[in-house]
Structure 1
Amino acid sequence: MILVTGATGTVGRALVDRLVAAKTPVRALTRRPAAAKLPEAVDVVAGDLGDPTSIAAALRGVDRVFLLTTGPEIPVHDANLLHEAARAGVTHVVKLSSGRTGDDTATDPIPSWHRLGEQALRDSGLAWTILGPLGFMANALHWADSIRHQDSVFAAYGHGRIAVTDEHDIAAVAATVLTSDGHDGRTYRLSGPEALSPGEMTAVLADVLGRPLRFIEVEPARARQAIVDHGVSELMADAIMALRATALESFTSTVHPTVAEITGIRPNSFKEWAARHIADFA
């Protein structure tokens, strides 16, 4: 049995669907099981990574775990799960981290939170594998509202590039690592097939949608305020803006062959990702 945390999110749901298709027993940990809308084959259990008791119950009969945590609670939530996983006899944990933990100059919040989680994993005594995407194609979904209503994309750091990865490719790597041998103690940096700027991604979306779109670069302070206006905390807004600024660095624009090496299939392009998400932007 594989336990998937973050199972209702973008990557977690893609992984659950892939495991179900392969007829691999899978359990999903979620705070709101009634709203999960997961396949019937999935054993959906209620739990919170901030509550060790609920984690212990979810781990009964589990031998492998996909660990997906977000936000400032990453170090605590990772530690909670790893402690209970060791007690439950789990054999292997695969953590979805940040590709930027491999950049020693990245001292902003998100890679720093993930480094603490990675260290807890290494210290846990469990077999482990770390997956570190440099960026997510799915982050472009944040532009959906302005594309639908203004035919425009507003973003800071317009000339920065990130080799973003399709969530289905991340899930494919995770499924392979969780169900095959030879990945213990490995850290895999993941990327898509090319590094793209926000303007280049806008041009791809325009091509796929078949209508002109404008890319408008905004000042970082304005972009940060827009995040706060959407109800995100000041702490997370700062972390998100620091993450976006890394598009200006060469580290996040490096293309890695890892997806193809592990899965045997080339990674999806941003155009292929966009074609799959037309309904979100139309």
Structure 2
Amino acid sequence: MILVTGATGTVGRALIDQLRTAGERVRATSRQPADAQLPADVEVVRADLGDPSQMAAAMRGVDRVFLLSTGPAIPEHDAIVARAAADAGVERLVKLSSGRTGDDTATDPIPTWHRAGEQSVRTSGVPWTIVRPLGFMSNALHWAGTIRVRGAVYAPYGQGRIAVIDPRDIAAVAAVALTADGHDGQVYTLSGPQALSPGEQTAVLGEVLGRSLEFVEVAPEQARQAIVEHGVPAEMADAIMALRATALAAFTSVVHDTVERLTGAPPRTFRQWAIDHAAEFRSAAA
């Protein structure tokens, strides 16, 4: 049985779908199982990654684990999950990390949190694989509201480019690492097929939606305030803005062949992702 944490997010849900298609038995953790809305054949258990006793219970009968944790508690949560996996005799653990963790110059919060989490996984005694995507195509969904209402995208660091990846391709690599031999002790940096700026992503979205969209570069301070106003704690808002600033670094624009090499299929383009999610950017009137 495979335990999937972060099961209701974009990567976790895609991974569950792929594992079910492959005939794997899946258990998912959720703090609110009644709201998880996962397929009926997925066993959903109540568990908080920060609760050692709940994670120990979730590990019973599990032989492989997918670890997805977020926010400032990443170091603590990863340590708890890794320890529980080791105590349960888990045979394989795949951790979703951050692409920036592989950049030695990155000292901002998110890669720093993930480095600590990776260290707990590496020293747990459980055979491990670490997956490091450079950036998520699904982050463009944050623009859906202003696209629907104003026909515009407002974002900082307009000159920055990131080789963003479809979460389904991240899940596909994780599924391979969980179900096939030969991936123990490997660190995989993942990217999509092309590095794109926010303006270039906006242009693709406009073409897919059949409407003219405007890209407006905003100051980082304005972008941070918008994040806070959406209810994100200040510490996390600062971390998100620090990560966004790394789009200006060359590291995040490098295209890697990892997805095709491991899965046999090329990574999806941003246009493909946009076509699949077009309805989320269209207004009810449209």
Q: Which bracket does the TM-score occupy, shorter chain normalised?
A: over 0.9
Residue identity in the other structure for 1:141 = L
1:8 aligned counterpart, secondary structure: coil
Secondary structure at the counterpart of residue 256 of structure 1: coil
2:5 maps to: 5
The TM-score, its normalising length taken from structure 1, stands at: 0.99
Residue 180 (structure 1) aligned with residue 199 (structure 2): no
| Mapped partners of 1:61, 1:82: distance in 2 | 16
2:100 counterpart of 1:100: yes
- Equivalent position of 2:266 in the other structure: 266
- Partner of residue 134, structure 2: 134
Residue number in structure 2 paired with 1:151: 151
1:208 and 1:226 mapped to 2: Cα distance? 26
Amino acid at match of 2:232: V
**In the alignment, residue 275 of structure 2 is paired with which amino acid?**
A
Where 2:153 maps in the other structure, the secondary structure is strand
Give the corresponding residue for 2:79: 79
Separation in 2, partners of 1:122, 1:171:
21
Per the alignment, in what secondary structure is the counterpart of residue 222 of structure 2? helix
Match of 2:243 in 1: 243
Partner residue of 2:69?
69
- RMSD over aligned Cα atoms: 0.5
Q: Distance in 1 between matches of 2:176 and 2:102?
A: 22
Query: What CA deviation, in whole Å up to 9, does each residue of 1:208-266 have, x standing for no partner?
Result: 00111000000000000000010111100100000000000000000000000000000
Aligned to 2:29: 29
Other structure's SS at 2:265 match: coil
Structure 1 residue aligned with 2:50: 50
1:279 CA drift (Å): 1.1
Unmatched tracts of structure 2, length 5 or more: none
Give the Å deviation of 1:41. 1.2
SS at match of 1:216: strand
Q: 1:31 is aligned with what amino acid?
A: R
Aligned to 1:278: 278
May I ask how many residue pairs the two structures share in their alignment? 282
Distance 1:121 1:160 in 2: 32
Q: Distance in 2 between matches of 1:63 and 1:150?
A: 49
Q: Which amino acid aligns with 1:216?
A: V
Q: Give distance in 1, aligned partners of 2:22 and 2:72.
A: 34
Give, in whole Å, the separation in 2 of the partners of 1:156 and 1:230. Answer: 17
| Secondary structure at the counterpart of residue 164 of structure 2 | coil
Matched residue, 2:170: 170
Tell me how far apart the structure 1 counterparts of residues 105 and 30 of structure 2 sit (CA, whole Å): 34
Identical positions, percent: 67
Q: Distance in 2 between matches of 1:248 and 1:89?
A: 42
- Say which SS state the counterpart of residue 40 (structure 2) adopts: coil
Alpha-carbon distance, 1:22 to partner: 1.4
Matched position secondary structure for 1:130: strand
Alignment partners' CA distance in 1, 2:114 and 2:30: 21
Residues in 2 aligned to 1:280 and 1:22: alpha-carbon distance in whole angstroms = 29
Deviates more, 1:105-114 or 1:13-22: 13-22
Take 1:238 and 1:46, find their aligned partners in 2: how far apart are those partners?
30
Shift of 1:102: 0.8
d(CA) in 1 for partners of 2:92 and 2:179?
10
Deviation at 1:183, TM superposition (A): 0.2
CA distance in 2, matches of 1:178, 1:126: 13
Which sections of structure 1, spanning at least 5 residues, go unmatched?
Answer: none
For the residues of structure 2 that align with 1:77 and 1:104, how far apart are their CA atoms?
A: 23
The one-character-per-residue Cα deviations of 1:34-61 (angstroms, maximum 9, x if unpaired) are 0000011101111001111111111100
| One-letter identity of the residue aligned with 2:12 | G
Deviation at 1:23, TM superposition (A): 1.4
- Distance in structure 2 (CA, Å) of the matches to 1:37 and 1:184: 32
Task: Report the Cα distance in structure 1 between the residues aligned to 2:175 and 2:157, rounded to whole angstroms.
Answer: 34
Runs of 4+ off more than 3 Å: none
Segment of structure 1 superposing worse, 18-27 or 162-171: 18-27
Rounded to whole Å, the distance in 1 between the matches of 2:64 and 2:99 is: 22
Report the secondary structure of 2:161's partner residue.
coil
Instruction: Determine the C-alpha separation between the residues in 2 that align with 1:93 and 1:158.
Output: 37
Q: CA deviation at 1:106?
A: 0.1
Which whole-Å deviations, capped at 9, do the CAs of 1:48-93 have from their partners, x for residues lacking one? 0111111111110000000000000000000001111111010110
